[in-house]
Structure 1
């Protein structure tokens, strides 16, 4: 479960306050954990990840459109592709301490998934999906 300390850190450091903390919990829940706890009613982050990916693309597109009016569509697309590359998301997720909050199943935990870059990128996107819905 997402810790109170983490929730307070989001608020104090980034000004992020979730009204629906269930969304935050879902954003940090891997399918392996949800599968191991079917009676808890906890959903995994995959749908939020899908939404978060689109939210990030839209936010970056809007920013680029407004701040680079002289670029053509092709140039904006290439620039957006570089900005929205998921590799940087894992670094930001680590900086924010996301890896400490992820709910993982036992097998994934033993396999070291908590620090896997692709997992952190997925959680970052899911977090943004949760922010959008909240």
Structure 2
């Protein structure tokens, strides 16, 4: 955490400049930067954290990215746009943007979390990134969120000249090319609260054992499992 109130205000002002928005309600941005580990500490009870905000931010990000793709690739069909979308809103992409704006050093973490490398943890950066987008939306509306998201995600959009092939399709085509049965997927477990579930899925390929993957939906978990299997069999190249 920051050394004191003045330092913290300065840090927030620096982050606001990077986000392109001066918050009317600073508590929204503070909550978006606060890890749940801090809320449970003595004196920290009732402190807002990013858990609820990330739920909203995920949806706001999805809407803005979907609109960007719809406008940027007017000739592409739904399937191609969906593959681009999945790539751009995955946690790794959000963590990458969060890292690029230096979000990690603004996170409010308990000492143990900070000491274990939390500021560079991709999962924490992705969660906080989604929460910051929600805070922008709640404080300044969709325009405020869009002013940050569009320029931040534009380089990622430009990287993929062709729609990325999804891992499930790549694995299916590989299995068919080898004369094998189609990959078989099975749900192993579902964890977490109803508003933020975590699915774990297993995929089996004839003669090549099994691989697992997890995600916020069955679809993303299947993609992660397929990507893990592609890596295992040496047919990589696709990503979840």
**TM-score normalised to the size of structure 1?**
0.87
CA deviation profile, 1:58-109 (whole Å, cap 9, x unmatched): 1011111122222111111111111212213223222322111111123212
Where does residue 119 of structure 1 map in the other structure? 124
Aligned 8 A contact 1:34 1:44 in 2? yes
Q: Whose strand proportion is higher, 1 or 2?
A: 2
| Cα separation, 1, equivalents of 2:107 and 2:16 | 18
Higher relative contact order (CA 8 A, sep 6+): 1
| Residue of 89, 92, 108 corresponding to 2:97 | 92
For structure 2, the 5+ residue unaligned runs are: 3-7, 140-240
Q: Whose helix proportion is higher, 1 or 2?
A: 1
| Cα separation, 2, equivalents of 1:19 and 1:37 | 28
Is 1:31 the equivalent of 2:31? no
Aligned 8 A contact 1:7 1:17 in 2? no
**TM-score normalised to the size of structure 2?**
0.51
| Residue of 69, 72, 75 corresponding to 2:77 | 72
CA deviation profile, 1:26-46 (whole Å, cap 9, x unmatched): 000111101114555311101
Where does residue 50 of structure 1 map in the other structure? 55
